[in-house]
Amino acid sequence: MKLKIATLPGDGIGPEVTNEAIKVLKAIASEFDHTFIFEEANVGAIAIDKTGNPLPDETLELCMTTDAILFGSIGHPKYDNDPSAKVRPEQGLLKLRKSLGLFANIRPVKAYKTLLDKSPLKKEIISGTDISIYRELTGGIYFGEKQLSKDGNTASDLCEYNRFEIERIAHLAFKAALNRKKKVTLVDKANVLESSRLWRKVVGEVAKEYSEVALDFLFVDNAAMQMILNPKQFDVILTENMFGDIISDEASVIGGSIGLLASASIGEKYALFEPIHGSYPQATGKSIANPIASILSAAMLLDHFQLTKEAALVRKAVDKSLKLQITTPDLNSKTDMVTTSKVGDFIEDFINNPNDTNVNFTNIHLGQSTII
Ligand code: IPM
Ligand code: MN
């Protein structure tokens, strides 16, 4: 298969982790005889520095002419600490999502057997957790009208949804549930918000088309508690934009590191793949950032194009790296230093030698990747 992939590394650790995902995709391309062509463009704070615009026109144009987008991360402390900044890096990502119609953000969360002791949560609570979060991505409070009074003392953000926006992501969530444990939990705040009541009504109607799937409702405050009390109860979580943002960061604690969580942002026409983590400015350039979220986002990209064997091999390689503790410091306090690129090297190496059953696998591959 021939794919043109736009790479938007962005800010902070974005370039470092994206490099590893590209490395892995290149290994897949050579192993399976595909042609993946990568083209890079600016987004976020780096784009503001270069052009004054967090999403330059040429970046958007590139994204519109490629088959898929691999996104790194955006954000910079100089904007975080300046509420009066007129232009912000995040606007680049939000505009990209809106312009490309990426209405569904899918965030898989699972507890890896080999990492159960990395989570601050008890093993018996998280073991077996496997959740797919369907977060609405182009509506709600993120995109509603924003106002600041003239005197600067009153501000508001409108949370608005319509039936169409709810229906289209609900269908995706129910379809996903059909191939999983057949349960959808709608997370909302229907006891307070009118927009949430519309979600309940519309999702209830959509559910009738999927009689095999059980539908559950949960208020977001309760869902936040249930996520750490009993995460195994969840299968597919369906929710609006901001609740999904918050709940998914919380859910990342189950896996042991936010550096593991990948996502796919899907629309009618375009698809973007990105880690859920931010730009982690403190780690920039130190080669300590975990590239797994970016690499697993690349696996989701492969899945999107029905390259299931390829995606499975990437996941197998990731599992192996976790099992052998070839992981960055967020998951590994013992080793001196497994750098971002060493993790990528190992995974690349595994993909290039998928049938290696050598009992000395660890040493050989560590040796090849010069990890120790
Ligand atoms: C995410 C991020 C973004 C969001 C930010 C960077 C705008 O936190 O993808 O989860 O809030 O959607
Ligand atoms: Mn977020």
For residue 159, give the CATH number of its domain.
3.40.718.10
| Atom of ligand 1 at shortest range from CA of 263 | 9
Alpha-carbon distance of 204 to 186, in angstroms, equals 10
The pLDDT, as a whole number, for residue 366 is 54
Q: Same structural domain for residues 182 and 315?
A: no
Q: Same structural domain for residues 249 and 271?
A: no
Q: Same structural domain for residues 279 and 367?
A: yes
Q: Same structural domain for residues 96 and 36?
A: yes
Q: Same structural domain for residues 116 and 98?
A: no
Domain end, chosen from 257, 279, 312, is at 257
Any domain includes 262: no
Full residue range of the structural domain in which residue 127 is found: 109-257
What is the torsion angle, in degrees rounded to the nearest 10, for the CA atoms of residue 206, residue 243, residue 132 and residue 295? 140
The pLDDT, as a whole number, for residue 372 is 37
Spatial contact of 37 and 304, defined as CB atoms under 8 Å apart: no
Q: Same structural domain for residues 282 and 313?
A: yes
Beta carbon of 13 within 6 Å of any ligand 1 atom: no
Any domain includes 61: yes
Domain end, chosen from 257, 289, 312, is at 257
Q: Residues near 222 by Cβ (< 8 Å), separated by ≥ 6?
A: none
Instruction: Please count the structural domains in the chain.
Output: 2
CA 264–ligand 2 middle distance (angstroms): 13
Query: Looking at ligand 1, which residue's alpha carbon is closest to its atom 6?
Result: 90
Tell me the one-letter amino acid at 250. Answer: E
Beta carbon of 68 within 6 Å of any ligand 1 atom: no
Beta carbon of 264 within 6 Å of any ligand 1 atom: no
Give the Å distances, CA to CA, from 66 to 202, 244, 274, 285. 34, 27, 16, 28
| Atom of ligand 1 at shortest range from CA of 73 | 6
CA 25–ligand 2 middle distance (angstroms): 25
Q: Same structural domain for residues 30 and 52?
A: yes
Catalytic residue numbers? 142, 189, 221, 245, 249
Any domain includes 189: yes
CA 242–ligand 1 middle distance (angstroms): 9
| Atom of ligand 1 at shortest range from CA of 97 | 12
Q: Same structural domain for residues 273 and 251?
A: no
Spatial contact of 187 and 238, defined as CB atoms under 8 Å apart: yes
Beta carbon of 249 within 6 Å of any ligand 1 atom: no
The pLDDT, as a whole number, for residue 371 is 41
Any domain includes 123: yes
Alpha-carbon distance of 175 to 264, in angstroms, equals 16
| Atom of ligand 1 at shortest range from CA of 94 | 7
Beta carbon of 93 within 6 Å of any ligand 1 atom: yes
Any domain includes 81: yes
Any domain includes 246: yes
Q: Same structural domain for residues 251 and 272?
A: no
pLDDT block averages, 10 residues each, the chain of length 372? 98 98 98 98 97 98 98 95 91 98 98 94 97 98 98 98 98 98 98 98 98 98 98 98 97 94 98 97 96 98 98 97 94 82 97 70 49 39
Beta carbon of 245 within 6 Å of any ligand 1 atom: yes
Q: Same structural domain for residues 78 and 54?
A: yes
The pLDDT, as a whole number, for residue 336 is 67
Q: Same structural domain for residues 37 and 130?
A: no
Q: Same structural domain for residues 81 and 169?
A: no
Domain end, chosen from 232, 257, 282, is at 257
